[in-house]
Structure 1
């Protein structure tokens, strides 16, 4: 637990025991090539991964890659910044090209300071989508990653299938990295999916696919079942919601559906645009992007007349530019993206390619384009003439009903309205500005550059000037300002945020209990993310979810029924289940199937048939057999889990409390005279940056702001003081550089303020204390500080008493200097190898009595013994794994030989019963041929066994190399002490 304590301290989130338990599981085996964290939906797998990332970051192992679905990139970016204070960058086509232009040979590796300078470089975690990582697989492979996190990793579970190209490309690119997979559904349709994910993590857990099928495809044999469970238990960890109910309180989702009937002009517009999109040939839509753009236009058509009017204007302008030939038309996808902000992500998921402009050649084509422009202009004029949308009127009615429901629930009158269109967002702002909600409306989108947002940002900047809340990024600070405004504004009529899809990614709104889907996405995962902005850990009330339904549109009705009844998105405690969301490997693929129904089905019967087929396709999302297999293989008894979580909670609280006190005591000592500390010493106000920092030639104190500091998870109205904060890091570096003086510590028992019986007997005594550093390099580096203290008669105190003694307050008295002890050179060399500045060890040494040296040697022996026992256990586990892997590889060949033996026996029987000489000769020939095949297979088996054994031996040699110990022991300091 102590190894994780720094990450726990820095986290700006209340951690639950199961999250800490998962992080400890992932770090428990330094030989592991990765883990699968498979908690049920809603248990915070992102937080678990964040702890692992924060721990790597603290160890200065900062080559970290996060691969996620495109629509989760911003959310991860924001979560790392908000909850862990970690910097990250989203790498996609545009930023990749820019980095390459700027001279980077590999933009995936371009963000790292590579240990240069003062160690406070601009390292950043890299976030990218699945498609982008696969498209740049060689660049990914060329980086020596310290950790790779893959979210929604069930997308990779079919990696064993030859046609799953993306998964297979990523498996090759990440084959030598330590990986963490996050998924609630590691097992959906077949045990082979579990084979795929586990083998992606570590290809030495199982042999090949055929041997896995032979041994584990049928789990009726209890022995095979237990063998499989034993194989995957070191890699896969799953916690259930019912197991953590003591720590996580859940609220419900309450659905509210409002039906509306479009006006005659709205219906006519819908039918005209639908007919246009169903034409066989369109000049306005590039052929290579027609599917993508058709999907987007249909979403804008369903959003509002204002949204589709703007899109039609873009189509007309593009066609007119084509005719004029004065300039190349602007890419249509770029124009539409200004309104439909999720377009880039949808294009990324669909793999849409850039459009190539077709040259207009004939008079016939020119005439057809002019006719198409005339049609589009007619549609646009109709759209512009519609000044009131029936769905907008339904929204006003829904708000009244929903706010009444919030009052009944005791929740604040706050609502977030989601739309997929910027133009619809502007329409809703105009609509609400004429109601009692006018003074409480704020927008949230990709640019946040409207007058209201600029005013909110300016007020927020003034209010938070000089605090840690100001990041320096206008985009990030504007987002924070708008969320604060939404949280704190108490407009009597109600406070409303109108947000676009892309704009609201990554924000947490658990103070809001009303989610309104003005536009309903077809992607169930996107809906879940929307509702999850509010219905999440920390929400104190049930969440009302409002949806709208066009009662005259049969396709709309069937989509809503599917999302509501099949996916169960809008009702209950947990929303969409693991099983159903897991059935949709890609939400965008599901969205595309619905778009195809709208595009190709022109009659109610066609729509009915298509949706029935879609329902059938989803019906087999997970069989009872797979549910039982998942439960038995991946889940543990509730009592066992709950007991483990109790221990994790207790140990985490103890380590966190100890580290917080140590950090603040150290800070108080280093900032003496430069800061004012509050009563509990868990917060302070920095009045000026101390000279111990500014005097370091390679470090500037300019980036360390003055003002109030507090530890994480407090009021959030001050600078968040973490171990990784520049102030703490610079104080640590300054302390390491300070010369150590020969010292007598005058320890004051009364000043401690608490009764410690074992120390009362020592009052009036004096003696010598010593501190040594033990560094053991074996499967990573372990550093331990050994403390020993003795009386004047050189009798050593118990180690626990020594720790209590040296924790007492007091003051130091300088003594005459002596020569530097020779052991310091070894220590400086050891520390230099760990990327830390070497300590400036001055003559701070007094002779260490033999009794104290024996005590220190005893502590050293205990630590080394523990490390050796750990390594022995790890070595045994790895050799057992390798033995099982080697046996697996032999299974396939042995199975083939057994099959040949069976066929030879059949032919012998047939030969004995042959009625004619000809039949008997034919049988003998067949037998001889099969015996030849069998003998060949036997020789192959012997050869393969030798090859497998040689591979196993090489792996064992590699393992032995990792287990070699390099031990460095050095005196840090020794001093006199007195206790009064």
Structure 2
């Protein structure tokens, strides 16, 4: 008695079928396939985005810290499983690598980052539209999406995800070129916008974001303003809430605290004072950067390069020395007419986010070009500039004692003491913005008791030790799924693993702030502090994230002799609350600045323009006032009313979703395990904890690792993130190549009509319903049934009855396959049996088609209601204009009658005539608008009609004669 080919075929079809949009089990396969924990609010959000096949998309607006990236990953994973591979993620430039890594690490989804270099390489290879990728999700930045809008428009996207979508909230303003270019390019395609702050300063921002998803939710801007601009009546609030409810979904942190535990942040200040030589170097270089004319910095990139030079200057004398050297060489090249120094490349070597910054700053930079020819006076000025730079360079080289670095050991000591109190691992992640500073700190720590315990992490990871770690890691993980074949990704994984298992300190450049999970570390040291709050949040988020078991200590270095540095820290700490509390920077605060780059530019401007302490104080006071006024109390009230649901209602729904999804997932995992055990019984050794090791490759033509393999099976008490995964273990999942091959083979297996004896007595499973059929026999048939209409849906139709002719409820028939069974002799159903099957299957099919039609009817009604509201909005706008003109004409006629002078009367009548003409045009526009509305409805109806025609397909999987003993 055992698992049979009939069990295997039944479960294989069940595991791979496509479920309707509103089915809680829709994402079960995606959840099992992903290395993410089961959080009910994320399932709820993903289901919301899929709720109607006619929907153009959704805004997922959960509060910060609730995992909108995971929600997007579940959605993308589902699309991928359905073979919908035209997928795009638009994100801020500094989050692209994070998306790339998260998709691979958590969802095993391949992706490619498109920027100028990779885009041009694709074109050279012959791909004339590099966005056209068949086996990769495409990731790009907002600026790149804008610059390549024609390419975006021509790619038939299945789905577009927009992260930090509040950056597009001013799309309703024609002057906002980036937002409008992206909106127009992606107009026909389904979109999911991710933002914690869909409404920040004005109700019109909500209008803007909704219009990116669907232009027919509201009428034009004028009608929206006239209806909802003032929001003085509660009735209007409710009406607007009802209209955005189908498109906007928001969960609050307080609603999910029973599912997610958060830890605190603890801030420590490490204050230092530069020595006289360091102070002099800072003053000299700072004064140099404030000069009106600089030959070393091209006008088109001066702001950007000035910012980077200031960052390197604040990092260490070692960092600024290399840059000063590059500036000298560049100017000498111009003077000697052999200029071959690319300053951007030189800077990018040390300050690794130069290319990202350049892309972010691109829109606001003037497109000046450097002069190709220089006058004698220019050359003379250059020689003077070279002399000054050489002086600065020599001073930087002569500085051997670094005051800031001298405080590092003291800071680490404080941090490790705090970790000891918390019971956390003795590990520290030190961030610097310069690779030269990184090497310098590495040498200091190696010499001060941390030899062999320090690992470097940067954009290239080409130092000798990193190469050794990588080589050893490849040998240890040879033959496992851990080795992806991408040297960049594998090297990063090797360094993180080394830091986790053997290292004490990781010194990282900004590259480590993107896309890696370091939750095993609880101490972050900002040796250099960025000015961009979002970048700081990203750094801390490497450790202070979901799954972190301890509070996270954040140490920040502050130059107390620099008034601007002190004020920047105060803003980041007190205004943005980045370093303390449970969640770090709040949605409102990060949303208020919109784009952290804008804030960074303001800080750079203060450093560049202010020379005295009083000027610095005044500038920062002004900035602080501006930030304070960004958060409007009235807007907060509107946001709460429009976007938030009653807590109890949400909690009950999430509780039910969690319970049901757990059942689906547990059953799914068990069935996958059973099919795998059945197929690999002669090829693998199995253990009782959902693990196995292959003894032979069942598919010799495929490259399949020997194992061991393990299903990450979660339950009520244990989440996937809590499961300890042995070093050499492959994660076994539905999307794994081995599982896919097994399921395909089982679906195609031979299941001719035979007698099957199901053993209830000797099976651990107890199902009361089946007990009354013990000792009986009958017939059972299973068919696969697919419907194609608004969306594709797959079902398993099951008909079973006893020899006495009792037709048993089909749902109960599935329980038979939880029993062990034995395959017997071949059988052949007669015509009466075949007729009974046809009748029972037809009944099942009719019920499913009816439910499908009912859902489609609801989808259709929702779309028509939306279109009717849009039509009313458009009429309101035009009718208001006509009404206003009528009132103005009436007033003008009354005034004209009172006028005594004939000339003035004639002039007044002329003006009235012009206004009447304008009014008549508006009336004509109203008629035309109504025609346009009718045309829009006709287009929608035609589209729906074409998709409404259900096409169905059915296929018999097997027919058996059953016995129950």
The reply to whether TM is greater than 0.5 is: yes
**How far does residue 908 in structure 1 lie from its aligned partner after superposition?**
5.5
**How far does residue 588 in structure 1 lie from its aligned partner after superposition?**
1.6
C-alpha change, 1:903 and 1:29, in structure 2 (3 Å) is same
- 1:452, 1:269 → 2: CA distance? 33
Within the candidate set 408, 413, 430, 1:400 is matched to: 413
Alignment of 1:384-463 (within 5 A): 384-463=397-476
2:156 is matched with 144
Alignment of 1:775-794 (within 5 A): 775-794=786-805
C-alpha change, 1:458 and 1:750, in structure 2 (3 Å) is farther
1:938 is matched with 923
Matched, 1:615 2:615: no
1:484 is matched with 497
1:839 is matched with none
TM-score, normalized by length of structure 2? 0.93
The one-character-per-residue Cα deviations of 1:647-694 (angstroms, maximum 9, x if unpaired) are: 1111110110111111111112222201122225x222122221xx44
Residue aligned with 2:807, SS:
coil
Alignment of 1:272-671 (within 5 A): 272-326=284-338, 328-351=339-362, 358-489=371-502, 495-671=504-680
C-alpha change, 1:523 and 1:769, in structure 2 (3 Å) is same
How many residues are aligned here?
A: 929
**How far does residue 191 in structure 1 lie from its aligned partner after superposition?**
0.8
Point out where structure 2 has 5 or more consecutive residues left out of the alignment: 1-23, 713-719
Contact 2:96 2:140 in 1 (8 A): yes
- 2:954, 2:118 → 1: CA distance? 47
Contact 1:886 1:952 in 2 (8 A): no
- 2:389, 2:600 → 1: CA distance? 26
1:873 is matched with 858
Pick which of 612-621 and 561-570 moved more: 612-621
**How far does residue 963 in structure 1 lie from its aligned partner after superposition?**
2.1
- 1:163, 1:910 → 2: CA distance? 39
- 1:78, 1:300 → 2: CA distance? 28
Contact 1:444 1:504 in 2 (8 A): no
The one-character-per-residue Cα deviations of 1:47-86 (angstroms, maximum 9, x if unpaired) are: 0000000000111101100000000011001101111111
Contact 1:845 1:975 in 2 (8 A): no
**How far does residue 176 in structure 1 lie from its aligned partner after superposition?**
0.8
- 1:936, 1:268 → 2: CA distance? 71
1:719 is matched with 730
**How far does residue 198 in structure 1 lie from its aligned partner after superposition?**
0.1
Pick which of 737-746 and 159-168 moved more: 737-746
**How far does residue 928 in structure 1 lie from its aligned partner after superposition?**
5.6
- 2:889, 2:114 → 1: CA distance? 60
The one-character-per-residue Cα deviations of 1:406-435 (angstroms, maximum 9, x if unpaired) are: 111222211111000001001111111122
1:200 is matched with 212
After superposition, the CA RMSD in angstroms is 2.1
**How far does residue 931 in structure 1 lie from its aligned partner after superposition?**
4.4
- 1:72, 1:933 → 2: CA distance? 51
The one-character-per-residue Cα deviations of 1:455-498 (angstroms, maximum 9, x if unpaired) are: 32233233323222222222212211221222223x7xxx1111
Matched, 1:226 2:238: yes
Contact 1:152 1:183 in 2 (8 A): yes
2:816 is matched with 805
The one-character-per-residue Cα deviations of 1:784-823 (angstroms, maximum 9, x if unpaired) are: 011122212332222232111132122323527x8xxxxx
2:98 is matched with 75
C-alpha change, 1:917 and 1:325, in structure 2 (3 Å) is closer
Residue aligned with 1:971, SS:
strand
1:896 is matched with 881
2:86 is matched with 63
1:837 is matched with none
Pick which of 857-866 and 757-766 moved more: 757-766
**How far does residue 961 in structure 1 lie from its aligned partner after superposition?**
2.3
Contact 1:151 1:181 in 2 (8 A): yes
Q: Which structure is higher in RCO with an 8 Å CA cutoff and minimum separation 6?
A: 2
- 1:922, 1:104 → 2: CA distance? 65
Contact 2:513 2:538 in 1 (8 A): no
Matched, 1:683 2:664: no
TM-score, normalized by length of structure 1? 0.92
Contact 2:765 2:818 in 1 (8 A): no
**How far does residue 938 in structure 1 lie from its aligned partner after superposition?**
2.6
Contact 1:286 1:357 in 2 (8 A): yes
The one-character-per-residue Cα deviations of 1:157-195 (angstroms, maximum 9, x if unpaired) are: 000111110110101110011101000111111111101
**How far does residue 915 in structure 1 lie from its aligned partner after superposition?**
7.5
- 1:845, 1:319 → 2: CA distance? 95
- 1:775, 1:754 → 2: CA distance? 31
- 1:923, 1:321 → 2: CA distance? 72
C-alpha change, 1:918 and 1:4, in structure 2 (3 Å) is same
**How far does residue 361 in structure 1 lie from its aligned partner after superposition?**
3.8
- 1:886, 1:511 → 2: CA distance? 55
Alignment of 1:950-965 (within 5 A): 950-965=935-950
2:38 is matched with 15
2:708 is matched with 708
